[in-house]
Amino acid sequence: MTTGPITVPFIIAIGVGLAMVRGDKDAASDSFGLVALCSIGPILAVMVLGCFFSPEEATYEQVQVAYVYTMADVVREFTVELPSYATKVFGALLPIGVVFVAFELVTKRFTARQNVRMGIGFAYTFIGLVLFLCGVGIGFAPVGAQLGGQLALSEWRWMLIPIGMVIGYFIVKAEPAIQILNNQVAEVTNDAISAAAMNRCLQIGVAASVGLAMVRAMTGVSIYWIIIPGYIAALVLSRFVPKVFIGIAFDSGGVASGPMTSTFLLPLCIGVSEALGGNIMTDAFGVVALVALTPLIAVQIMGLAYRVKEKRAERETNDSLSDETIELEEASK
């Protein structure tokens, strides 16, 4: 979850920029993978933190959906929370802005027009993130928890799996960082891997992961039974796919688990687990990890299909050249 809409664009841009400076044949494939590497540190850090804490029991207080009757009530709810989100986003963007200003003062690399564009970009980013995070925080999180709880208590409990998969399939479209990754992949590979193909692949992967998360929340099966075989499969696949797909696959896992996942899918699983009397900490948490896992496998399967298609085209080309050679030899005789 640390690789979200603020960090992903800069991390990917840094990787692409370094690859452009290198300019060798492996530069394009090496430009991806930084997002995945940036996820390793937080995982280890939280596990080390867990070595120093042993809580006997965990409690969770469900966020209540605000009762609104008029548009004025809706505006009031958002107005109250907007300053808090604005402060958080400003604190996140401020170090990036300071680094940019210091870099420009020292190097004077950009023109006045480029500096204006940078300033406008920061303003757009600030306003967009404040509105986006405020919307998902106030609206999606409480609704997700209540939706999960109500469905879990109904006689149609099994419908949580297909409903969760449909939500996961379409929630990819709303993740801002995913669209950035898809466009960067298409640009770096000269549309050999199109943004549409990447998007469809990620949608299938996230849909599968949310279905598995719903099964976990309802049955209490340990996440180890999914995570360990899943990463083994991903590592095995990495031995057979083109190199460029490996970095893209591991990046896509970190990118897919963004703010939409944490503010809707996680509360959805929490609501299901709480309604069924399960252990929230072991049955609900982990949905983000599953969302980060399945795109690895989905993108690498796409890489296998790409390699098969490439070899078939190469074989057809060779066969065509062989036929032309035979015809020329016969004509010369």
- Kindly report each contact of residues 302-310 with a partner whose C-beta sits within 8 Å and lies 24 or more positions away, as own/partner: 302/193, 302/197, 302/201, 302/245, 303/237, 303/241, 303/242, 303/245, 303/246, 303/249, 304/237, 304/240, 304/241, 306/193, 306/241, 306/242, 306/245, 307/240, 307/241, 307/242
Q: What's the pLDDT at 329? A: 64
Q: What's the pLDDT at 325? A: 65
By residue count, the chain amounts to 333
Between the CA of residue 150 and those of 86, 98, 146, 158, 258, what are the distances in Å?
Answer: 33, 47, 6, 12, 25
Residues of the chain above pLDDT 70, percent = 87
Per the prediction, the chain carries an average pLDDT of: 79
Of 16-25, 210-219, 251-260, 268-277, the one with minimum mean pLDDT is 16-25
Query: What is the mean predicted confidence (pLDDT) over 127-149?
Result: 79
On the question of pLDDT at 209 being above 60, the answer is: yes
Instruction: Work out the pLDDT band at 60, boundaries 50, 70, 90.
Output: low
Instruction: Work out the pLDDT band at 87, boundaries 50, 70, 90.
Output: very high
Q: What's the pLDDT at 170? A: 85
Residues of the chain above pLDDT 90, percent = 3
- Enumerate residues 6+ apart whose C-beta is below 8 A from 300: 234, 237, 238, 241, 245, 246, 249
Q: What's the pLDDT at 120? A: 92
On the question of pLDDT at 214 being above 80, the answer is: yes
